[in-house]
Amino acid sequence: MMTPNKDLISVEEAQKIIFSKFNSLEIVKKKLIDSSGYILSKDIKALFDLPSKNNSAMDGFAIRHQDLEINKTLKVVGRVGAESVTDHILQKDEAIRIMTGSGIPKGADTVIQFEKTNNNPHKGDDYPDSVTIIERVNKGDNIRMSGLDYKAGQTVVKSGMLITPPIIGAIASFGIDEVPVIKKPTVSLISTGNEIIMPGQKLKEGQIYDSNSFAISSAIRNSGANFKMHKILSDNKADVEKLYQDCNQSDLIVTIGGVSKGDFDLIRDAITEKGNINFWGINMKPGKPLAFGQVNLNGKEIFHIGLPGNSVSSYVCFELFIRPVLMKMQGLENIFRKTLVAKVDKEIKNNDGRRAYLRVMVSKDHEKGYTASIYDKQDSNIFSSLVYSNGLAICPEECKVIKTGDQLEVIMLED
């Protein structure tokens, strides 16, 4: 049994501390046409039956089923389109030309498609004087009953659901053009480091491109939140003092880098100058040097999560600690990724007492179940390990060796 690192807190403890600080954001009104991707904050009820009337599912003729006989000719007494109604009560041996979606005339109990008559489609308001039946249909065929989709007062969409295009269509069916939703969080995202420059600039000796903020900003957006990209912050003390400029309107501050114990890792000092640190360091790899605290900006308390600078560490910590927070702020009940159990395809050694999150590609065999293929290069700066993986296999901190074929829990990185 391995002894946990004394100065580091567990992943569960870190998640408990962070998640307890956040709640869903305020409710705002959003135009229905612009509401896709938001979380609905109130049940939407059907304002009326949908369909609101018995209507035709086909173009054809509304008839009385008792008049239906092969080669029988019926008198056509009118036409009903989706935009019109008729007060005519269908009598013996009568038919009414009817369009898809049109209300069923009184007295009719069946619609026969024009393909099953001697009649061809007619343009506009034109209709024939008579129609001959050439094929039988069952009583009630091709009639959509009132309330078949929704009954008045029935819940159309439940509070807490992610608004999707079909949901927007369902709500629009009742004439509703504005819905109450939970505000999307905005994250201030700041990369740090003297060596960091933005893609598109010319690379000089000793510099590297800022890939981290591009990966994390995309992950923020994929989590349903908004981000505000700030200028890259140098490791100079004078610049660090400017860290929180233009952050006071955000719901969360996320920095990348500057949280280790090096000479130029100044984020910890920046947090303590404006507020306080809740913890610094988690018993995991990659991602040990994560900082969490809160700062006071013009009377507003904003939480700050400092991600490690190594690319894989940064991304793994986002998945474990930031993505769930963004989900919670949007009002989602299930804030975690899906997990499953898979057999690993090679031996794993874990000798330092930290919980390891290994990049794996999970595949499923109908006979063997799930297999997790472990990416060969697990260093915290090898971003290709994420590019070619779809999950994080969890190697417990107390396990020194995981044997080939052993099962591990895997956090899936794909929905």
The reply to whether 214 and 288 lie within a common domain is yes
Residue 329: helix, strand or coil by DSSP? Answer: helix
Residue 62 in any domain: the answer is yes
What is the per-residue pLDDT for 84? Answer: 81
Q: Which range marks the domain in which residue 42 is found?
A: 33-50+150-182
Taking phi over 0 as left and psi of -120 to 50 as alpha, with beta for the rest, 280 belongs to beta
CA distance 86 to 62: 12
What is the per-residue pLDDT for 278? Answer: 93
Burial 47-72 (b: 16+ CB within 10 A, else e): eebbbeebbbebbbbbbbeebbeeee
Residue 3 in any domain: the answer is no
Question: Hey, how many other C-beta atoms are within 10 angstroms of the C-beta on 8?
Answer: 22
The reply to whether 203 and 318 lie within a common domain is yes
The reply to whether 307 and 346 lie within a common domain is no
**Domain final residue pick, 144, 168, 199:** 144
Task: Provide the percentage of residues in the chain whose pLDDT is more than 90.
Answer: 76
The reply to whether 177 and 262 lie within a common domain is no
Contacts of 92 (CB under 8 A, 6+ apart): 64, 67
Residue 17: helix, strand or coil by DSSP? Answer: helix
DSSP per-residue codes, 27-90: EEEEEGGG-TTSEE-S-EE-SS-BSSS-EESSSEEEE-GGG--TT-EEEEEEEE-TT----PPP
**Domain final residue pick, 329, 351, 367:** 329
The reply to whether 311 and 350 lie within a common domain is no
Residues 228-271: tens digit of each pLDDT: 999 988 877 777 778 898 899 999 999 998 877 654 467 888 88
The reply to whether 132 and 188 lie within a common domain is no
Residue 46 in any domain: the answer is yes
The reply to whether 176 and 188 lie within a common domain is no
Residue 75 in any domain: the answer is yes
What is the per-residue pLDDT for 265? Answer: 63
Residues of the chain with pLDDT under 70: 1-6, 121-124, 261-265
Question: Before 105, cis peptide (omega within 30)?
Answer: no
Residues 268-281: tens digit of each pLDDT: 888 888 999 999 89
Check which CATH number belongs to the domain holding 380 and give it: 2.40.340.10
Number of structural domains (the chain) is 4
The reply to whether 313 and 408 lie within a common domain is no
The reply to whether 206 and 317 lie within a common domain is yes
Check which CATH number belongs to the domain holding 317 and give it: 3.40.980.10
Q: What is the β-pairing status of strands 208-209 and 284-285?
A: unpaired
Check which CATH number belongs to the domain holding 162 and give it: 3.90.105.10
**Domain final residue pick, 90, 122, 144:** 144
The reply to whether 82 and 155 lie within a common domain is no
Residue 112 in any domain: the answer is yes
What is the per-residue pLDDT for 123? Answer: 67
What is the per-residue pLDDT for 263? Answer: 46
The reply to whether 318 and 189 lie within a common domain is yes
The reply to whether 344 and 322 lie within a common domain is no
Residue 5 in any domain: the answer is no
Residue 2 in any domain: the answer is no
The structure tokens listed for 149 are: 């989709």
Residue 4 in any domain: the answer is no
